[in-house]
Amino acid sequence: MKVPFLDLKAQYDGMADEIDTAIKAVIAKTAFAGGPFVEEFEKSFAEFCDCRHAVGVGSGTDALWLALLAMGVGEGDEVVTAVNTFIATAEAVNFCGARTIFVDVDESTYTMRPEAFRAAITTRTKAVIPVHLFGQTADMDPIREIAREHGLLVIEDACQAHGAAYKGAAAGSLGDAGCFSFYPGKNLGAYGEAGAVVTNDGNLATELRMLRDHGQKKKYVHSRVGWNARMDGLQGAILKVKLGRLREANEARRRSATTYRDLLGDRDDVILPCEADYARHVYHVYAVRVRDRDRVMRDLMDKEIGCGIHYPIPLHLQEPYRSDDWCPGAFPVAERCAEEFLSLPMYPELSLEQIHFVAESLGGSLDGK
């Protein structure tokens, strides 16, 4: 049985008429760069995240970068974030002229350890970016409390957490701003690149709208140096359709996660994802931990089971971030996870038969069969 790691074709087939109608509407109105379709999506996404404002941009990286710029993060500042994230989190900090300060993560949730954040704060610290990794929020109450004590900005990297919740509050609504990616494989994915920043701060939203559009308050009137980071109209229309199905799709992911746990939970040679007491996990990635990961991955791929690794090299060991301060062993939890993580197929259209085949195949590989 062939089980793809991700099946965007099956997703499209389930909503093809709505998607095609939305695309034709954009073409008919020739509203391709920003415009009414983006505005409609922004309104709906702000409501979904329980925030007053959503600002659509060109990518999740744009969302992180422009949020930092809009809040005044710049040269000489430091921003604390988790070391086991996609590089865009750190890149956004560096593109502001600030320095990224990495911290290790919790052994169970793989999100920022609040006590590690506290220990990393210096007189130059301006902000913290907790990363809601794989679809589960970081432990935000202690992170926010530490940030308040030190007067720091809190910017959520919610790029993998569309629809996740912390103690009932929506991911993205927990800090000064929440940043989302709509890369095609995300729980809410565009048909290309797109992103958004959500916030309850009207002044921040105004600043973000200027920054994404060359610093314009109105056409050809530039208040500051900005960038071309507008969301395309086609992406806004597609995302509006898919947003209407997101809750249902996330529930399907959660059911699949439960099935994986039912089938694999009794094994002591695989560590399954946990859902923290405070969290509603939406399983963007279903990353298990196994020994001899590369061999196990080859075994699964030989059986036509798609899988991945998120992420094989922690950021402090990537070439742009190597330094005397961050040698191998500096962040032991993240480094151990990087050697053991194996991401199994996870998407709303995954069938029970496919999950059973993946679990049986994984078990067979671990048993040496």
Categorize the per-residue pLDDT at 311 as very low, low, confident or very high, splitting at 50, 70 and 90: very high
Task: Give the pLDDT score at 218.
Answer: 87
| Structure tokens given for 328 | 């191998």
- Residues 316, 222, single domain; the answer is no
Mean pLDDT of the chain: 97
Categorize the per-residue pLDDT at 361 as very low, low, confident or very high, splitting at 50, 70 and 90: very high
φ, ψ of residue 224 to 5 degrees: the values are -160, 170
The reply to whether 3 falls in a domain is no
- Residues 153, 251, single domain; the answer is no
Angle, CA 267 vertex, CA 163 and CA 312 arms, to 5°: 55
Q: Helices 36-48 & 16-29, crossing angle to 10 degrees? A: 140
Which of 243, 277, 309 corresponds to the end of one domain? Answer: 243
Q: Which amino acid is at 289?
A: R
pLDDT above 80 (res 244) = yes
Q: Which domain holds residue 64?
A: 8-243
Q: How far is CA 337 from CA 202, 212, 262, in A?
A: 39, 36, 23
Which one-letter DSSP state was computed for residue 113? -
| Residue carrying the six token digits 């190597």 | 322
Q: Map residue 216 onto helix, strand or coil.
A: strand
pLDDT above 80 (res 324) = no
CA dihedral 47, 48, 49, 55 (to 10 degrees): -60
The reply to whether 272 falls in a domain is yes
pLDDT above 90 (res 323) = no
Do the beta carbons of residue 36 and residue 29 sit within 8 Å?
yes
- Mean pLDDT computed over 271-276: 98
Residue 19 and residue 21: Cα distance in Å, rounded?
5
The closest alpha carbon to 61, from 96, 99, 94, 91, belongs to 91
In DSSP terms, 178 is beta-bridged to 156, 198
The reply to whether 193 falls in a domain is yes
Q: In the chain, what percentage of residues exceed pLDDT 90?
A: 97
Q: Please list, in sequence order, all residues whose beta carbon lies within 8 angstroms of the beta carbon of residue 176, skipping any fewer than 6 positions away.
A: 71, 153, 154, 155, 199, 201, 204
pLDDT digits (tens, 9 = 90+) for 81-99: 999 999 999 999 999 999 9
- Mean pLDDT computed over 27-33: 96
The reply to whether 78 falls in a domain is yes
Residue 214 and residue 238: Cα distance in Å, rounded?
25
- Residues 345, 254, single domain; the answer is yes
The reply to whether 2 falls in a domain is no
Domain count, the chain: 2
- Residues 250, 205, single domain; the answer is no
- Residues 202, 268, single domain; the answer is no
φ, ψ of residue 289 to 5 degrees: the values are -120, 130
Residue 129 and residue 121: Cα distance in Å, rounded?
13
- Residues 196, 262, single domain; the answer is no
- Residues 26, 113, single domain; the answer is yes
The closest alpha carbon to 210, from 320, 325, 21, 55, belongs to 55
- Kindly report whether the peptide bond that precedes residue 278 is cis, defined as omega within 30 degrees of 0: no
The reply to whether 67 falls in a domain is yes
Which of 210, 243, 276 corresponds to the end of one domain? Answer: 243
Task: Give the pLDDT score at 217.
Answer: 85
pLDDT above 90 (res 153) = yes
Residue 117 and residue 80: Cα distance in Å, rounded?
7
Residue 51 and residue 43: Cα distance in Å, rounded?
10
Which one-letter DSSP state was computed for residue 143? H
Residue 198 and residue 224: Cα distance in Å, rounded?
21
CATH number at residue 70: 3.40.640.10
- Residues 160, 226, single domain; the answer is yes
CATH number at residue 336: 3.90.1150.10
The string of DSSP codes covering 170-201 is ETTSSSSEEEEE--TTSSS--SS--EEEEES-
Which of 243, 272, 298 corresponds to the end of one domain? Answer: 243
Task: Give the pLDDT score at 356.
Answer: 98
The reply to whether 1 falls in a domain is no
Do the beta carbons of residue 169 and residue 187 sit within 8 Å?
no
pLDDT above 80 (res 69) = yes
- Residues 274, 132, single domain; the answer is no
- Residues 90, 215, single domain; the answer is yes
Q: Going by DSSP bridges, is the β-strand pair 165-166/169-170 parallel, antiparallel, or unpaired?
A: antiparallel
| Structure tokens given for 353 | 């038969």
pLDDT above 90 (res 172) = yes
The reply to whether 283 falls in a domain is yes
Q: pTM to 2 decimals?
A: 0.97
- Residues 56, 173, single domain; the answer is yes
- Residues 72, 177, single domain; the answer is yes
